[in-house]
């Protein structure tokens, strides 16, 4: 299996193979980082790639396997999140590089914490329309549909959808206020789930409209979406 095949493997299958010792967390993360470096300049899915953070987390995941510790449901799986989730020590700009250019939170959003507690490895922060509203900030490279570069990937969770669809992360998190998970997932050929309101914590997530905002997964299959939702 080449690295691109590994990047397109389902999350459910990747979890099983990591547990079986057929794939290591470092192999999975390195494959993702290599693909991001090669493919993302064309599609602009990431605003921040946290390569060292991801590699450190992958090494810890390998140590847990070697020591036969209890493993989480997403152990060693490379994931990424929309850039409105707070992430400790990692930039969170909400797609607004001028206003929030220096915003580096000291805490992590609950939904992201739960991914990491389940063993997932955070690759970085994904492109989005500015403050989850209508358009990408002119100082950022606009996200591109992975299947047709002249087409929009949809929004506001544009990076979350295109990263999942094009193998730049095994699974991603987005937010949905007025179709912001569902629309980009549909336009990019991915699976986007808008859970029941309040099902997934919005603690540490930049609000657009608190009574409408939902947090949910974008993946390449229904089974993968169910697995990611399960850890929340």
Catalytic residues: 82, 156, 180
**How far is 153 from 124, CA to CA, in rounded Å?**
19
**How far is 109 from 132, CA to CA, in rounded Å?**
17
**DSSP structure class, residue 206:** -
**How far is 60 from 162, CA to CA, in rounded Å?**
28
With beta carbons less than 8 A apart as the criterion, state whether 176 and 84 touch: no
Question: With helix as H, strand as E and coil as C, how does 119-154 read?
Answer: CCEEEEEECCCHHHCCCCCCCCCCCCECCECCCCCC
Residue with tokens 């209890």, as numbered in its chain: 70
In total, the chain counts a number of residues equal to 232
Neighbours of 134 (CB within 10 A): 9
**How far is 96 from 139, CA to CA, in rounded Å?**
8
SS3 of 200, please?
A: coil
């Amino acid at each position: 299996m080449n690295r691109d095949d590994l990047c397109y493997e389902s999350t459910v299958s990747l979890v099983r193979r990591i547990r079986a010792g057929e794939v290591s967390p470092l192999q999975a993360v390195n494959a993702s980082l290599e693909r991001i470096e090669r493919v993302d300049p064309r599609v602009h899915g990431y605003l921040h790639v946290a390569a060292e953070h991801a590699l450190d987390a992958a090494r810890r995941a390998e140590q847990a396997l070697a020591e036969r510790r209890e493993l989480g449901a997403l152990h060693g799986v490379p994931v990424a999140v929309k850039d409105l989730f707070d992430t400790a020590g990692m930039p969170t700009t909400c797609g607004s590089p001028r206003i929030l250019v220096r915003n580096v939170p000291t805490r992590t959003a609950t939904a992201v914490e739960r991914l990491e507690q389940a063993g997932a490895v955070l690759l970085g922060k994904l492109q989005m329309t500015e403050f989850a509203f209508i358009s990408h900030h002119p100082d950022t490279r606009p996200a591109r549909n992975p299947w047709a570069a002249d087409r929009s990937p949809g929004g506001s969770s544009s990076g979350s959808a295109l990263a999942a669809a094009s193998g730049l992360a095994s699974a991603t998190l987005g937010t949905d206020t007025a179709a912001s998970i569902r629309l980009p997932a549909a336009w990019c050929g991915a699976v986007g789930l808008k859970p029941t309101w309040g099902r997934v914590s919005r603690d540490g997530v930049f609000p657009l409209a608190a009574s409408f905002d939902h947090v949910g997964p974008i993946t390449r299959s229904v089974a993968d979406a169910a697995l990611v939702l399960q850890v929340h």
